[in-house]
Amino acid sequence: MSALDTKPSIPINPTPSKYSVKISGKTIETIVTDKASKADEWVHQILSTYAGTSTVVGLDTEWSPHPSKRAAILQLCIEEKCLIVQLFYMDSIPQSLKNFLMDSNFTFVGIGVARDIAKLKNEYELECSKSMDIGEGAKRQWPGRFQGPSLKQLALEIVGLEMRKPKDVCMSNWETRLLNEAQIEYACIDAYASYKIGHKLLMEE
């Protein structure tokens, strides 16, 4: 399977917190926020769309290697809708987000997702009801095909999504007050790729 139009780009929406991340012919509507009200709005939009439906949500966190090593942002993605929550600067964490993470209709998926969930619990008292490690899921589904697979490898081989993972962005300062375009692109695509792979593993069997 080949990826089309693989170089992502971000046209900035006039509203500062809204971005459009384009990859492989898809446009991912991305909200970046440190406001409880914006996160609450996104969660309610998702719940109204997927009420009573079992599905997957891509989940990832990013943190800086220094100084605090706390999860600085939380990324959630379902289909072409992504939320990037700047946990480090949140005015408060809305109850709706807490409830969403505990909603058993949603399975939160990612590479090494247990580590992300543990950080969220230990650092922000956010708990998650259902999760699946897509690396382990891929190894179960295709025994012998993957050995300690990376997100980049899984994205290409399972869903034909070619990702760029620049090390300078990965190791950048995620605790910055204003994320730059490269960081937003990186964070969004990580969560989107996790969603696509998780959906393939759990919903398309």
Mean pLDDT of the chain, nearest integer = 89
For residue 150, what are the CA distances in angstroms to 13, 75, 163, 190? 31, 18, 11, 11
> Has residue 11 been placed in a domain?
no
Residues 148-172 pLDDT 10s: 789 999 999 999 999 988 999 999 9
pLDDT for the residue 67 = 65
Domains identified in the chain, total number = 1
Q: How many helices (H) and strands (E) does the chain have?
A: 7, 7
Query: For the chain, what percent of residues have pLDDT higher than 90?
Result: 74
Residue 204 has pLDDT above 70, yes or no: yes
Q: Positive or negative CA dihedral for 190, 3, 79, 144? A: negative
Average pLDDT rounded to a whole number, residues 66-78: 89
Which residue intervals of the chain are DSSP H helices?
36-49, 95-101, 113-124, 134-141, 151-159, 167-170, 181-203
| Structural domain for 198, as ranges | 18-133+149-203
pLDDT for the residue 61 = 97
> Has residue 12 been placed in a domain?
no
> Has residue 99 been placed in a domain?
yes
Question: With bands split at pLDDT 50, 70 and 90, how would you rate the model's confidence at 1?
Answer: very low
More confident residue, 82 or 70: 82
pLDDT for the residue 10 = 52
> Has residue 10 been placed in a domain?
no
Average pLDDT rounded to a whole number, residues 40-46: 97
Residues 99-127 pLDDT 10s: 999 999 999 999 999 999 999 999 999 99
Count Cβ neighbours within 10 Å for each residue of 3-35 and write b for 16 or more, e otherwise.
eeeeebebeeeeeeeebebebbeeebbbbbbbb
Contacts of 87 (CB under 8 A, 6+ apart): 70, 71, 72, 73, 74, 93, 123, 124
Its pTM surpasses 0.85: yes
CATH at 58: 3.30.420.10
Distance of CA 22 to the CA centre of its chain: 15
Residues linked to residue 188 through DSSP beta bridges, in sequence order: none
Residue 191 has pLDDT above 80, yes or no: yes
